[in-house]
């Protein structure tokens, strides 16, 4: 059911069918001046709190937050266009990776006082650092690396936390815009890691991220574009992929993509002595 309270409060007119995701419902709407927007109501705490970073970014590299009311947010609506998922699958992964790196750099720009309610990256890694399941030797390596990089964080910033191919959308004249931030606070290197398991995790039957040649090229590209040392980046990739794998395994799901990416990162680290 569409939230009538916000519909009336913000004088919105419905402009399309509802879009349902695992943790939210979204309604395309029109504002009183006729411009397009998206009304989103989430059932998940992280998505409900995404407004904190969206307000802080103020449309710079992310969709514009137009209004917020309890569990509902009113957002700028990006018009349908080329998706980074489709771009990557179609053999243009280097271009998609460059756009993700550009978006991350934009979001990480200094903007004054930090917003309230950010989640410390140390807490975000709890599932890997204090697992409720038995860890394989590979995941034990990831846990050890996570402890190391978390204890030595530098360039601490507000982070998107889930910057992948389906969370950066084509904003037309506005450029590429991030959506659905997880409102984290930590080493900026972490924001470059989630893309390494995607677009494979964006949907079934996608096999891009798990290809060793793609992984190797991405490490070179992200290291250069993100201004990150290879060892630092590889350590964060292994830690991030390990965390994602544990989340999947705790839910009783397969974690093949995350485990493959973690393994490639660990193998490169072993070859470089990192």
pLDDT digits (tens, 9 = 90+) for 15-63: 888 888 877 888 999 999 999 999 998 877 776 677 899 999 999 999 9
Tokens of 30: 């029109």
Point out the domain boundary residue: 44, 76, 108.
Answer: 76
What is each CA distance from 254 to 137, 144, 244, 248, 258, in whole angstroms?
A: 17, 22, 11, 6, 9
Residues in the chain predicted with pLDDT less than 70, given as ranges, are: 1-2, 47-48
Same domain for 44 and 117? Answer: no
Same domain for 117 and 168? Answer: yes
pLDDT at site 235: 98
Question: What sign results for the dihedral spanned by CA atoms 50, 56, 57, 63?
Answer: positive
pLDDT at site 1: 59
Same domain for 155 and 126? Answer: yes
DSSP three-state, residue 54: helix
| Marked catalytic residue, from 17, 69, 162, 220 | 162
Tokens of 231: 């060892």
pLDDT at site 79: 75
Same domain for 195 and 259? Answer: yes
Same domain for 228 and 99? Answer: yes
pLDDT at site 170: 93
Count of domains forming the chain: 2
Q: Based on the residue annotation, tell me whether 162 is a catalytic residue of this protein.
A: yes
Structural domain boundaries enclosing 18: 4-76
Same domain for 114 and 192? Answer: yes
pLDDT at site 2: 63
The whole-angstrom separation of Cα 105 and Cα 178 is: 12
Write the CATH number for 13.
3.30.200.20
Same domain for 99 and 181? Answer: yes
Same domain for 124 and 46? Answer: no
pLDDT at site 80: 72
Same domain for 136 and 232? Answer: yes
Query: Tokens 């964080």 — which residue?
Result: 153
Point out the domain boundary residue: 51, 76, 101.
Answer: 76
Point out the domain boundary residue: 37, 53, 76.
Answer: 76
pLDDT at site 209: 98
DSSP three-state, residue 9: helix
Same domain for 133 and 209? Answer: yes
Write the CATH number for 89.
3.90.1200.10
Same domain for 49 and 124? Answer: no
Tokens of 99: 């756009």
pLDDT at site 229: 97
Same domain for 143 and 246? Answer: yes
Question: What sign results for the dihedral spanned by CA atoms 155, 158, 161, 166?
Answer: negative
pLDDT at site 72: 87
Torsion of CA 83, 84, 87, 91, to 10 degrees: -160
CB 162, CB 194: distance < 8 Å: yes
């Amino acid at each position: 059911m569409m939230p009538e309270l916000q519909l009336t409060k913000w004088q919105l007119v419905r402009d399309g069918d509802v879009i349902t995701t695992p943790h939210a419902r979204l309604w395309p709407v029109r504002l009183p001046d006729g411009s397009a927007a998206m009304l989103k109501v989430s059932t998940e705490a992280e998505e409900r709190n995404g407004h904190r970073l969206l307000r802080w970014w103020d449309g710079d590299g992310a969709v514009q937050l137009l209004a917020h009311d309890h569990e509902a947010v009113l957002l700028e609506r990006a018009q349908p266009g080329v998706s980074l998922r489709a771009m990557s699958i179609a053999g243009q992964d280097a271009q998609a990776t460059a756009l993700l790196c550009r978006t991350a750099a934009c979001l990480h720009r200094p903007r004054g006082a930090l917003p309230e309610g950010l989640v410390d990256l140390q807490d975000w890694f709890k599932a890997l650092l204090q697992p409720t399941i038995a860890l394989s030797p590979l995941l034990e390596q990831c846990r050890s690396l996570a402890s190391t990089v978390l204890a030595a964080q530098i360039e601490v910033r507000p982070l998107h936390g889930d910057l992948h191919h389906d969370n950066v959308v084509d904003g037309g004249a506005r450029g590429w815009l991030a959506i659905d931030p997880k409102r984290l606070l930590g080493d900026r290197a972490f924001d470059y890691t989630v893309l390494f398991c995607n677009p494979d995790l964006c949907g079934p039957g996608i096999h891009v991220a798990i290809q060793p040649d793609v992984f190797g090229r991405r490490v070179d590209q992200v290291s250069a574009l993100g201004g990150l040392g290879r060892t630092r980046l590889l350590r964060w990739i292994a830690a991030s992929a390990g965390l994602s794998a544990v989340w999947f395994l705790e839910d009783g799901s397969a974690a093949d993509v995350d485990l493959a990416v973690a393994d490639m990162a660990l193998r490169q680290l072993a070859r470089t002595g990192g």
